[in-house]
Amino acid sequence: MSSEIERQAARRFGPGFGLSFQRLPYWLIILLIFFAVTLFAILRSESYRSALVFVAEGLRLTIFISVGAYGAALVLGLVIGLGRVSQNRLVYTLATLYVEVMRGVPLLVIIFYARFVIVPWMGNLVGQPLVRNDFLTGAVPLALGYAAYLAEVYRAGIESIERGQVEVARSLGLTGGQTMRYVVLPQAVRRVLPPLGNDFVAMLKDSSLLSAIGVGELTYWGKTKIGASADTFLGWNTVAFLYLILSLILSLVVRYIEQRTSSGRR
């Protein structure tokens, strides 16, 4: 019976779906059970239900900022990563300078710099005060900071492609740009999908630093709840639980991507 269920699941969802849960590590299974028990206890508690409703707006903004900032970081990181492997000395130098500066400055400092320098400057350009926009104020520093790390991920992926493939593509008449676009990048991006996913998880957690500049994300609303109720245990438990839930979901997605990409290379 179980084998028949697994065969049906494989036909419907893809090979290996029926065994995916069996391949989960024990620590993850224990964590899933813990989350289920904790969620059941929270939903039965009026205080925790009230806290979840209170921080819901912060949770929504945390998700929006993380997704928006990561999308921008993916694009900017790709551009900088291409600069890191460029044969043009000026482009390579500028890309390397950006990576070294951004990786050498703490993310919290980048957040303050963006809030009090970059975003006001952007507001002056468009003629309106953008510092009141929590999404923009939060997404800009995260995107700028993480673009440097993603650039190095892209660079490593590009350099992992065998030199022979590039030479074959050039011998077939492809230009350098065409070779990068049609031969190198598709393979490189596929190889670095897992580390790119891990950086998304890290960015989600680092978004909590935005509360230092008053962005109304999850941690900010958690601190507001603590100030209103004077119950630090309730407030921080709620915030920690929601971050863990988000991180666990993203970790499972990253693990799935790792399995798919590894099976695709066999």
* 20 is a domain residue: no
CATH number at residue 163: 1.10.3720.10
CB 192 within 8 A of CB 127: no
What was the pLDDT predicted at 126?
A: 78
Pair 32, 21: CB distance under 8 Å: no
What residues contact 202, with CB distance under 8 A and at least 6 apart? 146
DSSP letter (8 states) at residue 105: S
- Rg of the chain, C-alpha, whole Å: 22
pLDDT at position 148 is 97
Give the containing element (helix H, strand E) for 96: helix 89-104
Cα-based angle 31, 35, 38 (whole degrees, multiple of 5): 135
> Side chain identity at 97, as an amino acid letter?
L
pTM comes to 0.81
Confirm whether 10 is domain-assigned: no
How many domains would you assign to the chain? 1
Residue 8 lies in a domain: no
Residues, the chain: 266
Residue 73 lies inside a defined structural domain of this protein: yes
Residue with tokens 């993380």: 66
The two structure tokens encoding residue 213: 């500049």
Is residue 213 situated within a structural domain?
A: yes
Is residue 259 assigned to a domain? Answer: yes
- 80 found inside a domain: yes
Beta carbons of 137 and 220 less than 8 angstroms apart: no
* Cα–Cα distance measured from residue 208 to residue 216, given in angstroms and rounded to the nearest whole number: 10
Confirm if 216 and 134 have CB atoms less than 8 A apart.
yes
Distance set, CA 246 to CA 57, 100, 214, 254 (Å): 15, 30, 22, 12
- Tell me if 262 sits within 8 A of 192, measured CB to CB: no
B/e letters for 165-177, b = 16+ CB within 10 Å, e = fewer, are ebeebeeeebeee
Write the CB contacts of 106 (distance below 8 Å, at least 6 apart in sequence). Answer: none
Does residue 159 form part of some domain?
yes
Tell me how far apart the alpha carbons of residues 61 and 190 are, in angstroms, rounded to a whole number.
Answer: 29
Contact status, residue 208 vs residue 46, Cβ threshold 8 Å: no
Please report the pLDDT score of residue 51 as a whole number: 85
pLDDT in tens, the chain (266 residues): 445 544 544 454 444 444 455 566 677 677 777 777 777 777 777 887 888 888 999 999 999 999 999 999 999 999 999 999 999 999 999 999 999 999 999 999 999 999 999 888 888 887 777 667 889 899 999 999 999 999 999 999 999 999 888 888 888 888 888 888 888 998 998 889 889 999 999 999 999 999 999 898 999 999 888 888 788 888 888 898 899 889 888 888 888 877 777 665 55
Give pLDDT, residue 22: 56
How much is the pLDDT for 204? 95
Phi/psi at 173 (5° precision)? 100, 5
- CA separation for the pair 45, 50 (Å, rounded): 9
pLDDT of residue 1: 46
Please tell me the predicted confidence (pLDDT) of residue 39.
73
Domain limits at 222? Answer: 56-264
